Chain A
Amino acid sequence: MEQDDTVGSIADRARAPLETVLGERPTMEHVLLVLFLVVGVYMYQGASEFAPDAQTFPRLMAGGTAVLAFLLLARNHLTVVAPLVGAGLGAYLAYDGATTFLADGGGLVSLVAGVGLLVAVVGFRERFGEAVESFVAEPMQVMGDKETTEAPTADETEREEPPADEADPEAAADQTSSDEESESAAMYVYEIDDPKGPVVTGLLCVGYMLLTFTIGMLYATPIFVIAWTLWVRMNVIRAVALTVLSFVTAYLFYDLIQDDIAEGWLTGWELPAPDDLLGLWIHAGDLLQWGVMLG
């Protein structure tokens, strides 16, 4: 049987194990959560190098970020994962609290919280898993009607969820966004008609940044706008007007607020400013003469 080696099929093959681990199709949300998890773990670890006074707050926040991101990533396996995480966290807090308590009499809150967590996990394992599951996955709302806060039953969940291979994650995200937009006044969510738009805008911003670091923002600005007008296929006259407007804006920043924006940070290049270029006009006659002579 011939192996299908198209990009799509390779992506599908790479996605399959991820899908099994996550229990759902991977989307950009998972990328976001992995980012939070990695940053949280890195910053938690890094905080141990700071002076005791300076490490309390970052450790609390980094730890919280990492644990919550992990729980959200494992949301489809929480009945199993949550008690394990709870037990680990409880043991760590109890140990940390106990050693601090023995050393200087502090750490009582940590010790009590750790022991409490351990008792909760060991004594009510299933209940604990369900509680964490509802904390992570269910919509909770004080200012809303009851039906929207109720958890779907297992039957409903099965009925509503399309098979993984049929579901388009981006479309699903749009659908979710759209549904929630209509239901909720408290949460502001998007509908996306053209998924390429945000990606291209993001890439053009990255290009703008790289150009800024190379030739400075003064000249990177009109180039970015030209690239944008080409992408949206703007009428030439309007494109020129917009480019000129952007350049004038950049020039006003350069002239009135900060002239360092004209320098490329990576290269140290600073292209001649427009007023310098205008100064060159006095040599235009000479240049023309040389051109004619060379010609």
Chain B
Amino acid sequence: MTVESFFGAVEALLTAETMFWLLAGVIVGIIVGGLPGLGPPLGMAIILPLTLPLDPANAIILLVGVYSGSMYGGSIAAILINTPGVSSSAATMFDGYPMSQQGRAATALAISATASAFAGLFTITALILFSPALIEMVLAVGTPERFLVAILGLAMITVVTRGSFAKGILAGVAGLLVTTVGIAPMSLDQRYSETMYLYDGIDFVAVLIGLFAIAEMMKLAGQEGGIAKGEVTIDRAGVTEGITSTLKHPITVFKSANIGMIVGAIPGAGATVSNFVAYSEAVRSSNDPDSFGSGNEVGVIASEASNNGTVAGSLVPAISFGIPGSSSTAVLIGGLLMHDLRPGPSMFDPSGELTLTYTMLLALLVGNVVILIFGLSAVTQLGYLTKIDTDYIIPMVVVLSFLGTYALRINPIDILTVIVFGVIGFYMVRYNYSVIAFVLGVVLGDIAEENLYTALQLSDGSYMIFVNPLEYGRWISLFLSILIAALLFGPFIKRWWEDWQSA
């Protein structure tokens, strides 16, 4: 059945319409990623409402195309103007920009395109090959465990993201609280619906657009710079050198792609972390660590291979349990939900959406080929993206955000939601509250509540189902509960233990 689903996915992908949306997604992604200040979550959030008229498969393919394309696109601004188009390309600046200053911009961009594409191809292939085992694992997990996995994801985000523990948890819990407005899942009660415009709850698409588009535009409006001041010279002759350089470092590509994939699967860590981890590893294992930071090609390879490798990794918790590994996968989950696709076992069920899951993975595979071809052929034109002033970008992003949100349901609350969550998102990031945890809460709320509700029904309302395997026979639940407790209380217990030891 799995093989049938796989070939069904190949057939679905190889239609002209699907290929068109994939191509469009990757190219839009490269452009969005290349514009300084914009990034994958913003690009995907704006595109999200526009996918409504499309069938679910094409909508998801468009979104993953934007995701994959913008991961590569982020390196363009990082290399050419020392401003990462996306935070996940921050490490690319360290060596990419010095290369650009040395007149080797084309080489750096070609390295970026080839390393991104090769890493993407490798990790997606690995994910497809690993998928039968993943399917077994996901289908073995029951309702109480799915609730605990959601809480585990939230706990991991608060631990991985920096800053106060309480701030991280507050962000996640507040996100979950947002989803309690409207019809309760399972019992169908109306909650907090003071006006009829809230009967369907607070639209998560509006929340995502507010958090990623409006908050980001408010931030951009307060920033100076980020636009190419002078003429950036990109000589096509460096392209071959870039390709050769990547091919000469297969171990760096392989290692960084793996780092990206593993770190990407950790909720909240995402490409920003994997980018730095892979770069640090490249420096550590180099014979000439001092050359990093002044135009070492290996630095660009490591950074770019890792951030595209992250895409595959972050999809694992996203489609398996609905837990986004990053902001971009949070929007992707939003896209799945918008098209009535539930992340979880049904995405791996051959009689459910397994074909769509494979189509999505294969689309990413083809998307990386598109990145390679487009990235290499358009090297000399990519510099134009860095010259577009944010004064033009900001109003157009706001306009697209408002139009996209309002056109979805013609619900005035949605516009208000966009603005309110835009302002909240702006200040949350400004004061170090994890927006990813908040988004996770918003995306996960219904799924978590539904699983909690079903789990409590199984246990006649007793929370012991999560911690008492002797009575309920759910050992995975106990393991997950211990893991959550260890993540949340481990650092404090460790400190107490150290204090006690030293005393």
Residues of A participating in the B interface, judged by any CB pair closer than 8 Å? 27-29, 31-32, 35-36, 39-40, 43, 46-47, 50-51, 53-54, 56-58, 61-62, 64-65, 68-69, 71-72, 106, 108-109, 131, 134-144, 149, 173, 176-177, 180, 183-198, 200-202, 204-206, 208-209, 212-213, 217, 221, 224-225, 228-229, 232, 234, 238, 242, 245-246, 249-250, 253, 257-258, 260-261, 265
Contacts and interface: CB of A to CB of B under 8 A. Distances in A.
Nearest to B392: A242
Contacts of A51: 187, 189
B419 A206 contact: yes
A202 B399 contact: no
A32 B424 contact: yes
B169 interface: yes
B430 A195 contact: no
B482 interface: no
Given A136-B166, A193-B222, A228-B395, A29 B427 contact: yes
A201 B218 contact: yes
Given A134-B495, A186-B269, A194-B222, A245 B431 contact: no
Contact of A198 (B174, B426, B432): B426
B395 A224 contact: yes
Given A28-B427, A53-B186, A221-B399, A180 B432 contact: yes
7 contacts: A57-B453, A65-B170, A65-B177, A140-B491, A186-B273, A209-B415, A224-B395
Interface in B446-479: 448-449, 452-453, 456, 460-464
Contacts of A177: 430, 432
Contact size class for B?
35 or more
Interface string B428-456: 11111111000000000000110011001
Nearest to A206: B419
Nearest to A212: B415
A242 B415 CA distance: 22
Contacts of B464: 108-109
A191 B223 contact: yes
B412 interface: yes
Contact of A228 (B161, B276, B394): B394
Contact of B492 (A56, A65, A131, A201): A131
Given A29-B430, A58-B177, 15 more contacts: A51-B189, A64-B169, A64-B170, A72-B166, A139-B163, A140-B491, A177-B430, A185-B272, A186-B161, A189-B430, A190-B430, A198-B218, A202-B422, A238-B392, A257-B407
Given A54-B189, A208-B402, A224-B399, A32 B431 contact: yes
Given A186-B160, A257-B407, A57 B452 contact: yes
B191 interface: yes
B219 interface: yes
Q: Does more than half of chain B's interface fall in helix, strand or loop, or is it mixed? A: helix
Contacts, number: 262
Contact of B396 (A40, A136, A193, A245): A245
B392 A134 contact: no
A54 B410 contact: no
| A68, A184, A258, most chain B CB atoms within 10 A | A68
A66 B419 CA distance: 23
Contacts of A202: 218, 419, 422-423, 426
Interface string B83-98: 0000100100000000
Given A61-B177, A62-B177, A190-B430, A137 B403 contact: no
A40 B177 contact: yes
Given A50-B191, A242-B392, A260-B410, A190 B429 contact: yes
Nearest to B218: A198
Contacts of B137: none
B184 interface: yes
B286 interface: no
B423 A143 contact: no
B338 interface: no
B340 interface: no
Contact of A65 (B173, B277, B429): B173
A138 B165 CA distance: 7
A195 B169 contact: no
B180 interface: yes
Contact of B176 (A29, A39, A61, A205): A61
